[in-house]
Structures are given as C-alpha cells and as structure tokens.
Amino acid sequence: MPDSLDVEHFRSRLLQARDEILSLRESRNVSAAPVKLDQCAVGRLSRMDALQQQAMAQDNRQRAEQELVRITAALRRLDEGSYGDCRECDEPIDPRRLESDPSATLCISCASKREGPI
C-alpha cells in the first residue's frame, strides 16, 4: 500500500458507496419484479413500457451487484494492506485515480493497456 494514501478516507468512501447500494437494493428488486401480462388491465403499449422499465431495472440491479463485489474486494485489500497497489504491475495507483474510483485495481497505464487502442 502506498505510504501517502489516506486509507481511512478511502475506507469511508467505500463504506458509504456500499451502504448506498444496499439501501437501494430493495427498491430495485421491486422495479425488476415480473410484469403482469393481463391485457384487460393494461394496453399493449403500457405492457411494452413496463417490460422496458423492468429490463432497465434488472440491468441496473446487475450493475449495482457488480459494483458491490468490487467494493467488497477493495475493502478486503484495505484490510490486507494491498489497497492502492496495481494488480498487474504492483506499482502504486495514483491517488487521483482512486479518488475517482476507490475500487480501482489497476493503475492508469495497465488499465489503458487492457482497454487497447481506441
């Protein structure tokens, strides 16, 4: 872990992000519930709109769960003392990058290599 990192600052940010995701989990589960296809209750366009909203809610829920996994892993790295070290090259991740994404696992150089040329 880089010496200059304020680990408690990043721990606080990660815990806050985790709490936000967990507090929104219940509302996402309701939004992603199956859509009733009773043609007497709603028209065709309303059902299509409801299905689209359901798909978007499911996608949002999936992204939130993936972010929760990343946050949990970052908190584990904080506990282990490896937070802030690039998983590819073992060099310190720039604190500005961590400020932008506290769950980042790669330095900007290694992340750029993974993304490939634009």
Global pTM reads: 0.74
Q: Hey, what long-range contacts does 43-52 have (CB within 8 A, 24 or more apart)?
A: none
Q: How confident is the model at residue 38 (pLDDT cuts 50, 70, 90)?
A: low
The predicted-structure confidence for 63-108, as pLDDT tens digits, reads as follows 999 999 999 999 999 999 999 999 999 999 999 999 999 999 999 9
Domain boundaries, the chain: 7-83
Q: How confident is the model at residue 2 (pLDDT cuts 50, 70, 90)?
A: low
The predicted-structure confidence for 12-26, as pLDDT tens digits, reads as follows 999 999 999 998 877
Give the per-residue pLDDT at 71: 97
Mean of the pLDDT values across residues 23-44? 62
Q: For the chain, what is the mean pLDDT?
A: 85
